[in-house]
C-alpha cells in the first residue's frame, strides 16, 4: 500500500487549497444554526399566519416548541447536507480517471489501493467532522434556548444517523470504483438509498434496513429502543466494512 | 396582514438575534462572494453564468455552495 500517507496529505491539502474545507465548515455551521432557528421562529410564524387560518375557519391555539422540535428540524435537514456532500464528492475518484490526471502518479508507483483508501478516508473524515460540527452548533443553541429533557436518547440517535451517513459515503466510493462518471455515481448512490427507503414500507423488513437508522425522533424520545433495530445497525456496519474491503479490489479493474 | 407590525409585536427581538445575525451574515456573505466570483470569471467547470447567477440568488445557501464546488474553476482570482 505504497503512497497512502502522502496521497492522503495531498487530498487534504487540495481540499484546503480549493477552499472546500472552508466551504463545508460554513455550510455545516449554517445548518447547525438553522434547526434551532426554525424551531424558535415557529410560534411567531404561526401567530403571523393565524389571521389567514382564521378566515379559512381554522383556529390555531398557542404553539409551544421544545428541544424536541429543534432536533426534529436538525435531523430533517441532515439529508440535505448529505445530498450536497455526495454531489460535491461524487467526482472525487471518477474525475481523476476521466481526465487521466492520476496516470503520472500511478506510473510513479502509487498503488490503486492507496489511492482509493486515501480518498475514502479523506471523504469520511470531512463528513464526520462536518457532521459533529453541525451537531455541536445545534446542541449549543438548543441548550441555550430549551431544556434538553425532552430528548433523552439524543446521542444514540445522532450516532446511528452518523453510521447511516458513513455507509452512504462508503457506498458512494464503492460506486466510484465501478462506474465512469460522477453523474452515474450520484444516481447509483441515490438508488442505493431510495430502494431500501421504499422497501421500509414493508413492516417486517423495516428492522433490517439501514434507512430505519435515520428515523431519529422515536430514538431521541426513547419511544423506540436500539435493540428493536439492532439487525439494521449490524447490516449498516457490515456495509461500511464491506465497502472498505471491496473498494481496493474493484479499483484495480477500473480502466484509465 | 401587516408583517412588519407583527414583527414589532414579537416579544423580544433580542431573543432572536443570536441566530438571526450569523444566519444573515453567512447567507448574504456566501451570495455576494458567489456573485463576485461568477462575474469575475468567464469560464466555469460546469454550467454558464446565467445558470449560476439564478442558482446563487434563488437557492439560498445551497446555490452558492454548489457554484463554489462545481462551477468555479480552480484558477486563482
pLDDT in tens, B17-73: 888 899 999 999 999 999 999 999 888 988 899 999 999 999 888 899 889 888 888
pLDDT band at B1 (very low <50, low <70, confident <90, very high): very low
- The whole-number average pLDDT for the span A137-155 is 91
Between A182-199 and A91-98, two packed helices, what is the crossing angle to 10 degrees?
A: 150
Q: Is it the case that residue B13 has pLDDT exceeding 90?
A: no
Whether B62 and A48 lie within 8 Å, measured CB to CB: no
Q: What are the sequence ranges of the domains in chain A?
A: 4-252
pLDDT number for residue A105: 86
Q: Three-class SS of residue A35?
A: helix
Residue B53 lies in a domain: yes
Residue B1 lies in a domain: no
Q: What is the pTM of this model?
A: 0.89
Residue B11 lies in a domain: no
Range of the domain at B65: 43-77
pLDDT number for residue B11: 60
CA pseudo-torsion sign A105, A110, A111, A115: negative
Whether B10 and A44 lie within 8 Å, measured CB to CB: yes
More confident: A64 or A77: A77
Task: Report how far residue A17's alpha carbon sits from residue A96's, in angstroms, rounded to the nearest whole number.
Answer: 17
Tell me if chain B has a CB within 8 Å of the CB of A141. yes
Contacts with A60 (C-beta within 8 Å, 6 or more apart), sequence order: A46, A49, A50, A53
Q: Which three cell numbers stand for residue A63?
A: 404553539
Element (H, E) at A198: helix A182-199
Q: Three-class SS of residue A249?
A: helix
Whether B66 and A144 lie within 8 Å, measured CB to CB: no
Task: Report how far residue A142's alpha carbon sits from residue A33's, in angstroms, rounded to the nearest whole number.
Answer: 9
Whether A23 and B70 lie within 8 Å, measured CB to CB: no
Residue B21 lies in a domain: no
Whether A84 and B1 lie within 8 Å, measured CB to CB: no
ipTM comes to 0.77
Whole-Å CA distances, B20 to A67, A131, A144, B55: 18, 22, 15, 23
Q: Is it the case that residue B74 has pLDDT exceeding 80?
A: no
CA pseudo-torsion sign A42, A48, A50, A56: negative
- Is the CB of residue B68 less than 8 Å from the CB of residue A19? yes
How many domains would you assign to chain B?
A: 1
Closest CA to A145 of A46, A68, A74: A68
- Cβ within 8 Å of B, A 15-74: 18-20, 23, 26-27, 29-30, 33-34, 36-37, 40-41, 44, 47-48, 51-52
Amino acid at each position: 500500500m505504497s503512497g497512502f500517507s502522502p496521497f492522503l496529505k495531498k487530498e487534504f491539502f487540495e481540499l484546503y487549497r480549493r477552499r472546500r474545507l472552508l466551504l463545508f465548515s460554513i455550510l455545516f455551521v449554517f445548518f447547525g444554526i438553522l434547526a434551532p432557528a426554525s424551531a424558535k421562529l415557529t410560534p411567531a410564524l404561526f401567530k403571523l399566519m393565524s389571521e389567514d387560518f382564521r378566515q379559512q375557519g381554522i383556529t390555531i391555539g398557542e404553539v409551544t416548541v421544545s428541544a424536541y422540535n429543534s432536533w426534529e428540524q436538525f435531523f430533517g435537514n441532515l439529508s440535505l447536507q448529505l445530498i450536497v456532500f455526495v454531489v460535491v464528492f461524487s467526482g472525487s475518484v471518477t474525475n481523476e480517471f476521466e481526465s487521466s490526471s492520476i496516470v503520472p502518479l500511478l506510473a510513479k508507483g502509487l498503488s490503486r489501493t492507496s489511492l482509493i483508501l486515501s480518498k475514502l478516508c479523506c471523504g469520511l473524515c470531512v463528513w464526520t467532522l462536518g457532521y459533529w460540527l453541525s451537531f455541536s452548533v445545534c446542541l449549543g443553541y438548543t441548550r441555550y434556548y430549551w431544556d434538553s429533557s425532552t430528548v433523552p436518547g439524543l446521542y444514540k440517535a445522532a450516532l446511528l444517523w452518523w453510521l447511516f451517513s458513513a455507509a452512504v459515503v462508503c457506498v458512494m466510493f464503492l460506486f466510484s470504483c465501478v462506474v465512469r462518471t460522477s453523474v452515474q455515481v450520484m444516481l447509483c448512490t441515490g438508488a442505493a438509498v431510495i430502494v431500501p427507503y421504499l422497501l421500509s414500507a414493508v413492516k417486517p423488513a423495516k428492522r433490517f434496513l439501514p434507512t430505519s437508522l435515520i428515523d431519529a425522533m422515536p430514538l431521541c424520545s426513547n419511544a423506540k429502543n436500539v435493540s428493536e433495530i439492532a439487525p439494521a445497525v449490524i447490516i449498516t456496519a457490515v456495509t461500511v466494512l464491506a465497502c472498505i474491503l471491496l473498494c481496493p479490489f474493484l479499483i484495480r479493474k477500473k480502466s484509465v | 396582514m401587516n408583517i412588519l407590525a407583527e414583527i414589532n409585536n414579537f416579544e423580544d427581538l433580542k431573543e432572536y438575534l443570536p441566530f438571526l445575525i450569523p444566519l444573515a451574515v453567512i447567507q448574504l456573505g456566501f451570495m455576494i462572494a458567489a456573485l463576485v466570483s461568477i462575474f469575475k470569471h468567464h469560464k466555469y467547470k460546469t454550467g454558464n453564468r446565467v445558470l449560476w447567477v439564478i442558482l446563487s440568488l434563488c437557492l439560498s445557501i445551497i446555490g452558492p455552495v454548489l457554484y463554489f464546488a462545481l462551477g468555479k474553476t480552480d484558477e486563482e482570482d
